[in-house]
Structure 1
Amino acid sequence: MIKVSVMYPNGPETKFDVDYYKNSHLPMVAESLGDALKGMEFSVGIGGRIPGELAPYVAVVDLKFESVATFQAAFGPHAAKFAADVPNYTNVEGELQISEIM
Protein backbone atom coordinates (compact mmCIF):
# COMPACT_ATOMS: atom_id res chain seq x y z
CA MET A 1 0.00 0.00 0.00
CA ILE A 2 1.24 3.51 -0.82
CA LYS A 3 0.30 7.00 0.22
CA VAL A 4 0.46 9.98 -2.13
CA SER A 5 0.76 13.18 -0.11
CA VAL A 6 0.06 16.55 -1.67
CA MET A 7 1.40 19.25 0.64
CA TYR A 8 0.66 22.94 0.09
CA PRO A 9 3.46 25.17 1.47
CA ASN A 10 2.37 27.92 3.83
CA GLY A 11 3.57 31.49 3.97
CA PRO A 12 2.40 35.02 4.70
CA GLU A 13 1.03 35.44 1.15
CA THR A 14 -0.51 31.96 0.87
CA LYS A 15 -4.19 31.80 0.05
CA PHE A 16 -6.08 28.52 0.48
CA ASP A 17 -9.87 28.10 0.30
CA VAL A 18 -10.46 25.15 2.65
CA ASP A 19 -14.20 24.98 1.94
CA TYR A 20 -13.72 24.83 -1.84
CA TYR A 21 -10.96 22.24 -1.53
CA LYS A 22 -12.96 20.05 0.86
CA ASN A 23 -16.36 20.38 -0.80
CA SER A 24 -15.48 20.67 -4.52
CA HIS A 25 -11.91 19.68 -5.37
CA LEU A 26 -11.54 16.56 -3.22
CA PRO A 27 -14.93 15.10 -4.22
CA MET A 28 -13.96 15.61 -7.89
CA VAL A 29 -10.65 13.83 -7.27
CA ALA A 30 -12.33 10.94 -5.43
CA GLU A 31 -14.95 10.49 -8.16
CA SER A 32 -12.32 10.63 -10.91
CA LEU A 33 -10.02 8.09 -9.23
CA GLY A 34 -12.86 5.67 -8.50
CA ASP A 35 -12.09 2.30 -6.92
CA ALA A 36 -8.33 2.82 -7.31
CA LEU A 37 -8.49 5.26 -4.39
CA LYS A 38 -8.44 3.21 -1.17
CA GLY A 39 -8.60 6.08 1.31
CA MET A 40 -8.21 9.82 1.72
CA GLU A 41 -7.31 12.06 4.65
CA PHE A 42 -7.33 15.87 4.55
CA SER A 43 -5.70 18.02 7.22
CA VAL A 44 -5.23 21.76 7.67
CA GLY A 45 -2.08 23.15 9.28
CA ILE A 46 -2.68 25.16 12.45
CA GLY A 47 0.84 25.81 13.76
CA GLY A 48 4.54 25.08 13.70
CA ARG A 49 7.12 24.16 16.33
CA ILE A 50 7.01 27.52 18.08
CA PRO A 51 3.75 28.96 19.43
CA GLY A 52 2.36 31.47 16.95
CA GLU A 53 4.51 30.17 14.08
CA LEU A 54 2.80 29.34 10.79
CA ALA A 55 2.40 25.64 10.00
CA PRO A 56 4.91 24.60 7.32
CA TYR A 57 1.98 23.45 5.16
CA VAL A 58 -1.39 25.18 4.96
CA ALA A 59 -3.00 21.88 3.95
CA VAL A 60 -2.07 18.26 3.28
CA VAL A 61 -4.08 15.53 1.60
CA ASP A 62 -3.05 11.87 1.75
CA LEU A 63 -4.41 9.54 -0.93
CA LYS A 64 -3.98 5.78 -0.53
CA PHE A 65 -3.52 3.29 -3.37
CA GLU A 66 -2.51 -0.37 -3.67
CA SER A 67 0.64 0.49 -5.67
CA VAL A 68 2.49 3.21 -7.56
CA ALA A 69 1.31 1.66 -10.82
CA THR A 70 -2.32 1.81 -9.66
CA PHE A 71 -1.88 5.46 -8.67
CA GLN A 72 -0.28 6.38 -11.99
CA ALA A 73 -2.93 4.58 -14.05
CA ALA A 74 -5.79 6.22 -12.13
CA PHE A 75 -4.30 9.72 -11.73
CA GLY A 76 -2.62 10.24 -15.11
CA PRO A 77 -5.75 10.58 -17.26
CA HIS A 78 -7.14 13.25 -14.90
CA ALA A 79 -3.96 15.19 -14.05
CA ALA A 80 -4.75 18.12 -16.37
CA LYS A 81 -8.28 18.46 -14.95
CA PHE A 82 -6.95 18.42 -11.38
CA ALA A 83 -4.25 21.00 -12.22
CA ALA A 84 -6.76 23.29 -13.96
CA ASP A 85 -8.78 23.46 -10.73
CA VAL A 86 -5.86 24.59 -8.53
CA PRO A 87 -6.39 28.37 -9.06
CA ASN A 88 -9.90 27.94 -7.64
CA TYR A 89 -8.52 27.18 -4.17
CA THR A 90 -4.89 28.30 -3.82
CA ASN A 91 -2.08 30.48 -5.11
CA VAL A 92 0.70 28.01 -4.25
CA GLU A 93 1.95 24.86 -5.97
CA GLY A 94 1.51 21.64 -4.02
CA GLU A 95 4.48 19.37 -3.36
CA LEU A 96 3.87 15.68 -4.03
CA GLN A 97 5.48 12.77 -2.19
CA ILE A 98 4.84 9.06 -2.69
CA SER A 99 5.49 6.93 0.41
CA GLU A 100 5.25 3.26 1.19
CA ILE A 101 2.94 2.57 4.12
CA MET A 102 4.75 0.31 6.58
Structure 2
Amino acid sequence: MATISIVFPSSDGASFNYEYAQGVHLPLVLDRWGESGLEKVELFRGVSSADGGAPPFLAVGLLRFTSLKHLQAAMTGEHAAEIGADIAKFTNVKPVLQVNAEMIE
Protein backbone atom coordinates (compact mmCIF):
# COMPACT_ATOMS: atom_id res chain seq x y z
CA MET A 1 0.00 0.00 0.00
CA ALA A 2 1.15 3.55 -0.71
CA THR A 3 -0.28 6.98 -0.09
CA ILE A 4 0.35 10.46 -1.30
CA SER A 5 -0.02 13.33 1.17
CA ILE A 6 -1.05 16.65 -0.32
CA VAL A 7 -0.70 19.59 2.04
CA PHE A 8 -1.84 23.14 1.38
CA PRO A 9 0.24 25.51 3.54
CA SER A 10 -1.42 28.52 5.18
CA SER A 11 -0.12 31.95 4.28
CA ASP A 12 -1.32 35.53 3.97
CA GLY A 13 -3.81 35.73 1.11
CA ALA A 14 -4.21 31.97 0.82
CA SER A 15 -7.68 30.77 -0.13
CA PHE A 16 -9.26 27.32 -0.27
CA ASN A 17 -12.80 26.48 -1.38
CA TYR A 18 -13.59 23.40 0.72
CA GLU A 19 -17.01 22.91 -0.89
CA TYR A 20 -15.53 22.72 -4.39
CA ALA A 21 -12.69 20.47 -3.25
CA GLN A 22 -15.10 18.05 -1.58
CA GLY A 23 -18.00 18.27 -4.01
CA VAL A 24 -16.20 18.46 -7.36
CA HIS A 25 -12.48 17.74 -7.10
CA LEU A 26 -12.60 14.60 -4.94
CA PRO A 27 -15.28 12.96 -7.12
CA LEU A 28 -13.13 13.80 -10.17
CA VAL A 29 -10.10 12.14 -8.57
CA LEU A 30 -12.14 9.06 -7.63
CA ASP A 31 -13.63 8.82 -11.11
CA ARG A 32 -10.34 9.19 -12.98
CA TRP A 33 -8.13 7.09 -10.72
CA GLY A 34 -10.69 4.72 -9.20
CA GLU A 35 -9.82 1.92 -11.59
CA SER A 36 -6.09 2.63 -11.30
CA GLY A 37 -5.56 1.30 -7.79
CA LEU A 38 -6.96 4.26 -5.84
CA GLU A 39 -8.66 2.81 -2.77
CA LYS A 40 -9.48 5.80 -0.57
CA VAL A 41 -9.42 9.60 -0.61
CA GLU A 42 -9.57 11.75 2.51
CA LEU A 43 -9.60 15.53 2.90
CA PHE A 44 -9.00 17.25 6.22
CA ARG A 45 -9.60 20.94 6.98
CA GLY A 46 -6.89 22.60 9.08
CA VAL A 47 -8.41 23.68 12.39
CA SER A 48 -5.45 24.71 14.56
CA SER A 49 -1.85 23.96 15.38
CA ALA A 50 -1.12 21.56 18.23
CA ASP A 51 -0.81 24.49 20.67
CA GLY A 52 -4.17 25.96 19.61
CA GLY A 53 -2.76 28.61 17.29
CA ALA A 54 -3.56 29.12 13.64
CA PRO A 55 -3.31 25.97 11.52
CA PRO A 56 -0.07 25.63 9.54
CA PHE A 57 -2.08 24.05 6.70
CA LEU A 58 -5.43 25.02 5.19
CA ALA A 59 -6.07 21.40 4.25
CA VAL A 60 -4.42 17.99 4.00
CA GLY A 61 -5.42 15.36 1.47
CA LEU A 62 -4.51 11.67 1.61
CA LEU A 63 -4.88 9.36 -1.37
CA ARG A 64 -4.40 5.65 -0.71
CA PHE A 65 -3.38 3.32 -3.53
CA THR A 66 -3.05 -0.46 -3.59
CA SER A 67 0.66 -0.17 -4.40
CA LEU A 68 3.44 2.30 -5.05
CA LYS A 69 3.42 1.16 -8.67
CA HIS A 70 -0.27 2.11 -9.03
CA LEU A 71 0.30 5.48 -7.34
CA GLN A 72 3.22 6.34 -9.62
CA ALA A 73 1.28 5.25 -12.70
CA ALA A 74 -1.66 7.48 -11.73
CA MET A 75 0.58 10.47 -11.03
CA THR A 76 2.15 10.22 -14.49
CA GLY A 77 -0.82 8.81 -16.40
CA GLU A 78 -3.37 10.28 -18.77
CA HIS A 79 -5.53 11.95 -16.08
CA ALA A 80 -2.72 13.51 -14.01
CA ALA A 81 -2.73 16.84 -15.90
CA GLU A 82 -6.53 17.19 -15.66
CA ILE A 83 -6.52 16.51 -11.93
CA GLY A 84 -3.58 18.86 -11.36
CA ALA A 85 -5.19 21.67 -13.36
CA ASP A 86 -8.42 21.37 -11.37
CA ILE A 87 -6.58 22.32 -8.16
CA ALA A 88 -6.41 25.96 -9.31
CA LYS A 89 -10.23 26.02 -9.31
CA PHE A 90 -10.41 25.73 -5.52
CA THR A 91 -7.18 27.20 -4.14
CA ASN A 92 -4.44 29.69 -4.89
CA VAL A 93 -1.98 27.67 -2.80
CA LYS A 94 0.71 25.52 -4.40
CA PRO A 95 0.34 22.13 -2.70
CA VAL A 96 3.26 20.18 -1.30
CA LEU A 97 3.16 16.49 -2.23
CA GLN A 98 4.85 13.58 -0.51
CA VAL A 99 4.70 9.92 -1.52
CA ASN A 100 4.56 7.54 1.46
CA ALA A 101 5.04 3.78 1.73
CA GLU A 102 3.43 1.83 4.52
CA MET A 103 5.89 0.61 7.11
CA ILE A 104 5.66 -3.04 8.04
CA GLU A 105 7.45 -4.44 11.06
TM-score by length of 1: 0.90
| 1:67 aligned partner | 67
Unaligned runs of at least 5 residues, structure 2:
none
Q: CA RMSD in A?
A: 1.3
The aligned amino acid for 1:39 is K
Cross-structure match for 2:86: 85
Q: Take 1:65 and 1:25, find their aligned partners in 2: how far apart are those partners?
A: 17
* Residues 4-41 of structure 1: CA deviation (Å, up to 9, x unaligned): 11111112311000000000001001100023101111
Shift >6 Å, 4+ stretches: none
Cα offset for 1:74?
Answer: 2.4
Q: Over residues 20-71 of structure 1, what are the superposed CA-to-partner deviations in whole Å (9 max), with x where a residue is unaligned?
A: 00000010011000231011111010011333x2211101110111222111
| Alignment correspondent of 2:6 | 6
**What percent identity do the matched residue pairs reach?**
33
Structure number having the greater helix percentage = 1
| Local SS of the residue matching 1:93 | coil
Structure 1, unaligned stretches of length 5 or more? none
Retained in 2: the 8 A contact 1:7–1:60? yes
Aligned partners of 1:5, 1:17: CA distance in 2, in Å?
Answer: 19
Specify the SS of the correspondent of 1:38. Answer: strand
Kindly state the Cα deviation for residue 91 of structure 1 after the two structures are TM-superposed: 0.4
Kept in 2, the 8 Å contact 1:11–1:54? The answer is no
Per mean C-alpha deviation after superposition, the further-off stretch among 1-10 and 65-74 is: 65-74
